[in-house]
């Protein structure tokens, strides 16, 4: 059954409170019962001591020091707070009793003797609290003194208390539930306001934020978290719009060139070499399109794939990538392992291969053939470090924070001469984020660029 949150919260709080109230009622009843019994036992102990000092049993015969004690009114009648007294021999046979007992007998427990703690029994239909002590003469038990008083008044008091508590309990529970429901409704009002405000925010007004409450509490923390989420969504939306715009522009350019070539070719008959030149130009544009599409597909795949993390030899991968570049481009990339020992990190071999290959392709693309490009690895504390360094044209300081954005290319004369789509470093950044690799870039215009990767010891 799907109940509203404030009802469920009220039920939970009422249930917890019900247990506490039940425990409190049980404690109240227990204390009242213990207090009444304690008071009665104290009275019985006092009465028992008085009569014990006045009674002696010798050879089964009772001797009284004050016989007139038996003539007191409280021993003659069954009245308010009557005192019943009986004297028995060691076997429980009655030797004497107070007049108010008549032919009735008090309960005898053989061998029992206690001047501090009594026990309950019934005298006809009347409940009594009784105490039993041994009567000794020269160290020998000659009999027992049984002293009792009515427990009816105390029993009635306890029964009334139990009934009152029993009747109060459901009333308290209902009151608690209604109170908890009211307080729960009040407590979630800020959440309701946040919910209503959040429902008003859509793609059209994603720049709006939920007002922060005045109190610095969990509600404010929730509001801050939602606003941070909206901030990230807005930034992601802007990046997606920018990505779509840049992708459209990058794809439209080679398509426009192809369309222009075809329009030129069909206007009038051309020489064979003109056809060949235009076809070659068209093929180059098609290659650009293929390259852009492949990189776009790779970028989309990297955003979704969950890579397997395992131990890899960073030096072995770096050596493999540099050898591959030398075979394909004929350019030497200097590789150095500063740790001298094999450097193992927790990552994904395929992804690290793509990252390093893209970084080196970028370094070679923007540096002259006679300049050095290097790859260095070492361990610093518990982290593995990989650094790709070139002595190329470098990057302006203002552009360094943007080079990892898709399709971003610095607007400079040097870059205008180099073919590229601006997706290589974006792919590198996506893979690093997915693998938990920290990436940093240091560059100076005209003096080259160094890109550093920091592999954590645990992923």
What is the average pLDDT value for the chain, to the nearest integer? 81
Section 50-77 average pLDDT = 62
pLDDT band at 82 (very low <50, low <70, confident <90, very high): confident
pTM score > 0.85 for this model? Answer: no
Tens digit of each residue's pLDDT (9 = 90 or more) over 291-338? 667 766 765 665 555 567 888 899 899 898 888 888 877 788 888 888
Report the alpha-carbon distance of residue 13 to residue 235 in Å, rounded: 42
The pLDDT tens digits for 135-188 are: 887 788 888 899 998 888 888 999 999 999 999 999 998 998 888 888 888 888
Tokens 């400079």 sit at which residue?
412
pLDDT at residue 12 in the model: 87
Query: Is 263 exposed, middle or buried (CB count within 10 Å of its CB: 0-12, 13-18, 19+)?
Result: exposed
Average pLDDT in the 417-441 region?
76
pLDDT of 349 higher than 80: yes
CA distance 270 to 247: 34
Buried b (16+ CB within 10 A) or exposed e, 430-459: bbbebbebebeeebeeeebbbbebbbeeee
| pLDDT number for residue 416 | 47
Q: Are 222 and 194 in contact (CB under 8 A)?
A: yes
pLDDT at 78: 45
What is the pLDDT confidence band of residue 65, given thresholds at 50, 70 and 90? Answer: low
- φ and ψ at 56, to 5 degrees? -135, 135
Q: What is the mean pLDDT of residues 44-70?
A: 70
pLDDT tens-digit series, residues 434-457:
888 899 888 888 788 899 999 987
pLDDT on residue 28: 93
| Angstrom distance (rounded) from CA 49 to CA 43 | 10
């Amino acid at each position: 059954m799907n109940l509203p949150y404030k009802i469920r919260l009220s039920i939970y709080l009422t249930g917890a409170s019900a247990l506490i109230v039940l425990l409190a009622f049980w404690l109240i009843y227990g204390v009242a019962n213990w207090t009444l019994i304690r008071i009665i036992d104290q009275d019985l102990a006092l009465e028992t001591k008085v009569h014990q000092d006045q009674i002696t049993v010798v050879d089964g015969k009772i001797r009284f020091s004050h016989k007139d004690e038996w003539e007191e009114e409280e021993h003659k009648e069954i009245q308010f707070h009557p005192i019943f007294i009986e004297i028995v021999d060691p076997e429980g046979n009655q030797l004497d009793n107070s007049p108010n007992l008549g032919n009735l007998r008090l309960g005898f427990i053989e061998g029992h003797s206690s001047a501090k703690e009594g026990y309950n029994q019934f005298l006809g239909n009347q409940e009594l609290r009784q105490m039993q002590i041994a009567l000794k003469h020269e160290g020998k038990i000659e009999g027992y003194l049984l002293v009792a008083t009515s427990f009816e008044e105390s029993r009635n008091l306890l029964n009334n208390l139990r009934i009152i508590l029993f009747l109060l309990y459901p009333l308290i529970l209902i009151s608690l539930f209604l109170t908890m429901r009211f307080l729960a409704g009040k407590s979630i009002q800020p959440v309701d306001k946040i919910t209503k405000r959040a429902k008003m925010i859509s793609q059209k007004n994603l720049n709006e934020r939920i007002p922060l409450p005045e109190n610095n509490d969990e509600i404010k923390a929730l509001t801050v978290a939602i606003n941070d989420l909206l901030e990230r969504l807005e930034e992601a939306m802007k990046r997606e719009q920018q990505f779509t715009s840049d992708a459209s522009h990058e794809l439209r350019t080679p398509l426009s060139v192809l369309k222009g070539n075809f329009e030129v070719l069909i206007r009038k008959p051309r020489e064979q070499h003109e056809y060949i030149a235009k076809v070659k130009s068209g093929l180059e544009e098609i290659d650009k399109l293929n390259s852009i599409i492949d990189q776009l597909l790779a970028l989309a795949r990297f955003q979704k794939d969950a890579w397997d993390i395992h131990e890899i030899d960073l030096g072995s991968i770096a050596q493999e990538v540099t050898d591959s570049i030398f075979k394909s481009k004929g350019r030497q990339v200097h590789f150095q392992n500063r740790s001298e020992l094999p450097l193992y990190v927790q990552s994904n071999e395929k992804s690290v291969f793509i990252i390093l290959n893209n970084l080196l392709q970028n370094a070679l693309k923007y540096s002259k053939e006679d300049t050095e490009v290097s790859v260095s690895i070492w361990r610093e504390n518990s982290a593995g470090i990989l650094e790709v360094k070139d002595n190329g044209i470098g990057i302006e300081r203002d552009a360094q924070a943007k080079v990892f954005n898709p399709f971003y290319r610095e607007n400079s004369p040097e870059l205008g001469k180099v073919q590229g789509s601006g997706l290589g470093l974006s792919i590198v950044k996506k893979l690093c984020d997915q693998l938990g690799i920290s990436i940093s870039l240091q560059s100076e215009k005209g003096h080259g660029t160094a890109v550093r990767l920091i592999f954590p010891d645990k992923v």
